[in-house]
Structure 1
Amino acid sequence: MSPRRKERRVGVVAVAGAAALVAVGLNLAFSAVAAHRRRKRQELPGFSAQVNLSAAEIKRLADRIIAKSKETYDAVAAVPLDKVSFANAIAPLAELDAQQFPLVQACVLPRMVSPSEELCRASAEAEKRLDSHFLLCRQREDVYRVVKAFTERGERIGPEETRFVQCLVREFERNGAKLTQNKRKEMEKLKSLIDDLNLKYIQNMNDLTKFVLLSEEELAGMPLEFLKDLEETDGKRKVLLTSYHVTPILEHCKVGSTRKLIAVAYGQKGGKQNVAILEKLVQIRHRLARLLGYSNYSDFAIEPRMPMTSRKVLEFLEEMSEQLGDLANRELTLLKDLKMKEEGDAQFGMEDLLYYMKRAEQHKVDLDIGEIKRYFPVKLVISGMLKMFQDLFALQFEEIKDVVVWHDTVRLFSVRDANSSDLLGYFFLDIFSREGKYGHTCVVTLQNGCLCSNGSRKVPVAVLLSQCPKEFDGNSALLRFPEVVRIFHEFSHVVHHISNRATFSRFSSLRLEGDFAEIPSLLLENWCYESISLKMMSGFHQVMKISHDVFVLKLSSNSMNFQEQELMRKRTGSSV
């Protein structure tokens, strides 16, 4: 994932002023437009998510969310401890979550997608206010006492209700609700220090002023399209130390010294400043974990995930190491032999891993990277992917036209069960690059599928964000195969989200344990290597140099190359 992603995990809702009067005629015109926009939304059954708010509307909505949340928490806190029940202590918090999640997402989405600076500022300000408010909600000792009292009464409830209560208690306790006042103040001080250090660390890593100047000879092997995108300075190409520049060079550059130079420079981003910051972070995080009753910060961080303890994680890693060690060593020997043939007697470093994995794959499929890319025009990939998921899960996607969205390239689809025609949910596709938009492929949930207190069901709504290139001068925009897999992976999250039938908003797909939420997408992305789906998503956009069937056969035969090497690389935490 993953801002993978995915949603604001704020307080109870997640895991992601009046204007002066103007001329009467103009005011009426704006009102008519706003009413038209609202009518368009209301025509969609089960769709209450809002995607076209003004800056003033975002502020007012954030005010309303905070006021309603405080009202609900105050009501729960007022319940006498000897009279607590699911109906008066737990159900109000669940209903608040169900109703407010899409409202919160309506406030924070513009920061990621809107071309308007005014909307982005309003969204960022609302997000900051909401984050602060929901953190305070999760620290309310009076509400925690009521919820805890309910767990001790022994009222019989269903398994999903039990799980919801367990999550409530855990979230309160992780935020210090059971600490004494003095310890809570100490916790706040530690969290503030951690936030400041995190921000400084990220700012150092995101410093876009760092770059390396390289000649075309030093960039031998790089695709022409990549070189064209690099800024020229003093007759050399300017390579920024970002993943968009670094990863392609580590994968394709034939010059070993260049790969090493870039890998070292990228690995040293942040410099000695970040080393000092990291040392402080480790110490302060340990103090925070101990204060909250955990043995160490690892146990605190792992608790909300499937393993639940760091001991289980270590056991899993050791088991994986034993199972994959021999195979990984054989793969590494193969890669070292390739380097020996191409570069002579040179030491094999981490900067060589991606390049020689790609070289081994090219030898096997007998296709170069540029040739593969020509088989994946964006429009064909998207249409083939949609057809694949419809066939696989018996779904029916229908594009909805004439609906106001945040940009004219955004598309909206309804999702129905192909057999019963029941409405399952909606998704937006916002896949083309533009300035100011969130820079990675991810899924944002706008509305969770859940049951409301009146018996109605909210249907899931999600957005697939990406930065695919646009068509230029009639030429098809093309995707690298890893980009195809990434989009397929993220759209799997969309389908998982829309297929969810949880009672509680808290258990909608992307709000489950983060590692569990990745499993369906990790499984489904393997379809990208099957011939049936490759045929749906690919097709040479000009004159074919080889037949489509031969291309599919070659690419699908390479589906599992060096998976063990990738796992071992990730286990060691390599940055290249």
Structure 2
Amino acid sequence: MSTNPLLQDWAGPHGLPPFADIAAAHFQPAFDLALAEHRAEIDAIAGQADAPSFANTLAAFDASGRRLTRLEHLFYTLAASATSPELQAVQRAMAAPLADHGSAVYMHQGLFGRVEALFEQRDQLGLTAEQRRLLERVHLDFLRAGARLAPAARERYAAIMARLAELNTRFAQNVLASESGYQLRLTTAAELVGLPDFVRAAARQAAIDRGLEEGVHVITLSRSLIVPFLSFSARRDLREQAWRAWVGRGDDTGDTDNREICREILELRAEQARLHGHACYADYALEDTMARSQAAVMGLLERVWHPALAAQAREREAVLGAMAAAGVTHELQAWDWRFYAEQAKRARFELDEAEVKPYFSLDRMVAAMFDCASRLFGLQFKARPDLVGYHADVRAYEVLDADGSLRGLFLQDNFARPTKRSGAWMNAMRNQSRALGATPIILNNNNFARGAAGEPTLLSFDDVRTLFHEFGHGLHGLLSSVEHERLAGTQVLRDFVELPSQLYEHWMAEPQVLKKFARHWQTDEPLPDALLAKLQAARQFGQGYETLRYTASALVDMAAHALPAAPADVVAFERETLSRWGLPAEVGLNHRLTHFQHLFSSAGYAAGYYVYLWAEVLDCDAFDAFVEAGNVFDAAVAARLRECIYSAGNSREPGEAFRAFRGRDPVVEPMLKDRGLLPA
């Protein structure tokens, strides 16, 4: 038997990999074997003498490649969450071969012929609704991967996909190197002026994590550290340094320069779209979405853009007022906004984040998100500290249904570190499938700034929202109840996938949740009513600024992918696009193109960053169903939500799923109201 742990049975609890035994060198030989096995399985399915049937073709295809799927889930988890130079080298080496394999599978003419024959007979096959959905989705997967192209076009298409995989990998590794390589060291009392205790504690812990000497504090490019620094540091020169490093990731002349990589990715995507007969990549990408067209996307973005501009102009007056009150006369710049907006909020609402944050310890907020899932869906969460993850930060929980049956395993990895990519995300280490007898293993990653030794990690209100958001994705994976893996969990249309996550955010701000779980970490005092009232009053302050930052990023994404060919200079294109839309200079973008991982680490959100706003229309309208019931934990509404949205995966068309839950199509007004963008 092989000594490679990746090629042995994973006999640990819940089938978890033997993380401690795995080395980067184990992956390439394991992939070589798994790829060969899968190719043989595909050839066998395609070459069988029996006429195609759902069982011998669709179900067999869905069940194929088990070793490869298991390896890929593990490999990409480690590459994102606990990477190393050795693992990155394997990632670069395997990018093209894995892409080539995907092309070979979905361009396999024998297999595609069987799938197409079933698709053409779909009305006569007596399929269940889920079986028909699987057939339709798999058939479309083949078409979108180029199965119907002429032989020469298929060859070129496969080459494009292999090159894109290499570029996506380089892009992501460059962003990680840029982020992990940056440290703003604060070594004197003068450099710490204005920073509350919680920011100082997190900055000191970041220095300790990097092995730096006593007395040094470090600001990294982790959002949970740099945003508080920009909000509280009285040192304008240091704010500017940090801000420029944050927005400049990938836009440089060194080893982490992503400008040419972005340009080449856009060029290859435009060619990919042309091979499919589309004028631009946006048209190709949107063909398989709820939106369907650029016009629908732009209609939504424009509906939000102009009210957000007006709201930000009002917020700007408050920010300028705070600057005047402080006696400063310099021009308002992007690195000033958060600092003076925080002062304006403090003056207007008598609300200080340093006063709020002690009530939001990470452990209590995790308990809150579990409690909401228990009240809504009857789930129970059993801590399993004995289960060993890929890093000491990983916490494991068995998830049980109300009847005590096992629903799945939930892993949570909450802290920022140099070996972990930025942002927050959910991924499945194993998808649910009744046909395969598979319960899900779901992982949430966050990048919170760790609290000082012996003290809890304290979260901002925005951090708590992120925690609940990712757990909403997690519930989408955990509650999945489908027969076939291809339809499980979050494998839905991109502009539907953010509905379960964003919807779950609503419960984190509910007064009854906050009163129970938001307790001062030192005194155990519950969040005072007066402070809760201030939080609610200030909830929409800054929404103009935040809405513009998000929407501007979505507009740049759509503009770049609507081109028939890549721009010669992506930075100049970005600047010209923002100028055309009139984005105020002090606002900026959530993500500039050169570090926009949603777009360039994979194609997942390419021409698709709009989806958060699209799903927000759905989630605000969906939450109103609970409001209308008079109880945000109404049992009947929650049962319908679980059945129609969280458990259905991709087993039903998303518009149909929403109508089954809500009784009608979504309306946009609840979203505009929630953001404070309805006309007065």
TM-score bin, normalised by smaller chain: 0.7 to 0.9
Conserved in 1, the CA contact under 8 Å of 2:230 and 2:243?
A: yes
Distance in 2 separating the partners of 1:467 and 1:199: 21
Paired residue type of 1:526: H
Conserved in 1, the CA contact under 8 Å of 2:160 and 2:268?
A: yes
Q: How many residues align?
A: 535
Distance in 1 separating the partners of 2:71 and 2:259: 40
Paired residue type of 1:165: L
Paired residue type of 2:47: A
Q: Deviations over 1:23-52 (max 9, x none)?
A: xxxxxxx9xxx99x82x52xxxxx445454
Q: Deviations over 1:108-147 (max 9, x none)?
A: 4444556998888879877875554334322323322322
Paired residue type of 1:76: I
Q: Deviations over 1:86-109 (max 9, x none)?
A: 233222112227786445424544
Distance in 2 separating the partners of 1:323 and 1:473: 45
Q: Deviations over 1:456-493 (max 9, x none)?
A: 74222212233556675533333333222212221222
Comparing 48-57 with 366-375, greater Cα deviation is found at 48-57
Corresponding residue SS for 1:430:
strand
Indicate whether 1:136 and 2:81 are aligned: no
Q: How does 1:141-160 map to 2 (within 5 A)?
A: 141-154=109-122, 155-156=124-125, 157-160=127-130
Indicate whether 1:423 and 2:384 are aligned: no
Paired residue type of 1:421: G
Q: How does 1:353-432 map to 2 (within 5 A)?
A: 353-400=337-384, 402-407=386-391, 410-418=394-402, 420-431=403-414
Cα distance change on mapping 1:305 and 1:352 into 2, 3 Å: farther
Conserved in 1, the CA contact under 8 Å of 2:195 and 2:232?
A: yes
Paired residue type of 1:144: F
466, 480, 491: which one aligns with 1:486: 466
Matching residue of 2:145: 175
Matching residue of 2:445: 465
Paired residue type of 2:457: A
Distance in 1 separating the partners of 2:514 and 2:248: 39
Comparing 183-192 with 194-203, greater Cα deviation is found at 194-203
Distance in 2 separating the partners of 1:266 and 1:112: 20
Paired residue type of 2:145: N
Cα distance change on mapping 1:275 and 1:430 into 2, 3 Å: closer
Matching residue of 1:11: none
Paired residue type of 2:444: L
414, 431, 444: which one aligns with 1:448: 431
Indicate whether 1:86 and 2:54 are aligned: yes
Conserved in 2, the CA contact under 8 Å of 1:58 and 1:126?
A: no
Corresponding residue SS for 2:540:
coil
Q: Deviations over 1:533-561 (max 9, x none)?
A: 22333222224799644444433443333
Paired residue type of 1:448: N
Conserved in 2, the CA contact under 8 Å of 1:114 and 1:120?
A: no
Paired residue type of 1:459: T
Paired residue type of 1:271: D
Cα distance change on mapping 1:48 and 1:130 into 2, 3 Å: farther
Distance in 2 separating the partners of 1:443 and 1:226: 24
Matching residue of 1:225: 201
273, 276, 284: which one aligns with 1:300: 284
Comparing 478-487 with 331-340, greater Cα deviation is found at 331-340
Offset of residue 166 of structure 1 = 2.7
Matching residue of 1:503: 483
Offset of residue 311 of structure 1 = 2.5
When the two structures are superposed, what TM-score results if normalisation uses the length of structure 1? Answer: 0.78
60, 64, 70: which one aligns with 2:39: 70
Conserved in 2, the CA contact under 8 Å of 1:108 and 1:126?
A: no
Comparing 480-489 with 550-559, greater Cα deviation is found at 550-559
Distance in 2 separating the partners of 1:437 and 1:211: 16
Distance in 1 separating the partners of 2:83 and 2:302: 47
Q: How does 1:162-561 map to 2 (within 5 A)?
A: 162-195=132-165, 197-198=167-168, 201-202=171-172, 205=175, 206-207=177-178, 217=190, 220-223=193-196, 224-225=200-201, 228=204, 229=206, 243=223, 246-256=226-236, 258-269=238-249, 270-271=251-252, 274-322=258-306, 324-342=308-326, 344-400=328-384, 402-407=386-391, 410-418=394-402, 420-431=403-414, 436-437=419-420, 440-452=423-435, 457-468=437-448, 474-543=454-523, 548-561=528-541
Distance in 1 separating the partners of 2:73 and 2:527: 46
Offset of residue 566 of structure 1 = 1.5
Paired residue type of 1:522: Q
Cα distance change on mapping 1:256 and 1:515 into 2, 3 Å: farther
Corresponding residue SS for 1:178:
coil
Paired residue type of 1:179: L
Q: Deviations over 1:218-259 (max 9, x none)?
A: 7642333355456999x9987666656643333223455554
Offset of residue 77 of structure 1 = 2.1
Conserved in 1, the CA contact under 8 Å of 2:96 and 2:166?
A: no
Cα distance change on mapping 1:245 and 1:422 into 2, 3 Å: closer
Corresponding residue SS for 2:359:
coil
Distance in 2 separating the partners of 1:326 and 1:61: 56
Indicate whether 1:96 and 2:93 are aligned: no
Conserved in 1, the CA contact under 8 Å of 2:59 and 2:484?
A: no
Question: Which has the larger Rg?
Answer: 1
Comparing 315-324 with 519-528, greater Cα deviation is found at 315-324
Distance in 2 separating the partners of 1:470 and 1:238: 12
Cα distance change on mapping 1:472 and 1:395 into 2, 3 Å: same
Cα distance change on mapping 1:158 and 1:340 into 2, 3 Å: farther
Distance in 1 separating the partners of 2:428 and 2:111: 28
Offset of residue 388 of structure 1 = 2.9
Distance in 1 separating the partners of 2:449 and 2:45: 50
Cα distance change on mapping 1:198 and 1:404 into 2, 3 Å: closer
Distance in 2 separating the partners of 1:401 and 1:247: 32
When the two structures are superposed, what TM-score results if normalisation uses the length of structure 2? Answer: 0.67
Corresponding residue SS for 1:450:
coil
Comparing 255-264 with 84-93, greater Cα deviation is found at 255-264
Cα distance change on mapping 1:545 and 1:50 into 2, 3 Å: closer
Cα distance change on mapping 1:318 and 1:394 into 2, 3 Å: same
Q: Deviations over 1:48-98 (max 9, x none)?
A: 454546448766754553344223311232257x93332332221122277
Offset of residue 321 of structure 1 = 2.8
Distance in 1 separating the partners of 2:317 and 2:412: 43
Conserved in 2, the CA contact under 8 Å of 1:110 and 1:123?
A: no
Cα distance change on mapping 1:376 and 1:199 into 2, 3 Å: same
Corresponding residue SS for 2:404:
coil
Paired residue type of 1:362: R
Distance in 1 separating the partners of 2:458 and 2:54: 54
Paired residue type of 1:290: R
Cα distance change on mapping 1:128 and 1:411 into 2, 3 Å: farther
Q: Deviations over 1:308-360 (max 9, x none)?
A: 32232112212223554544443343334333433545444444443344334
Distance in 2 separating the partners of 1:547 and 1:182: 66
Corresponding residue SS for 2:58:
helix
Distance in 2 separating the partners of 1:120 and 1:202: 10
Matching residue of 1:23: none
Distance in 2 separating the partners of 1:252 and 1:461: 39
Distance in 2 separating the partners of 1:566 and 1:291: 38
Cα root mean square deviation, aligned: 4.1
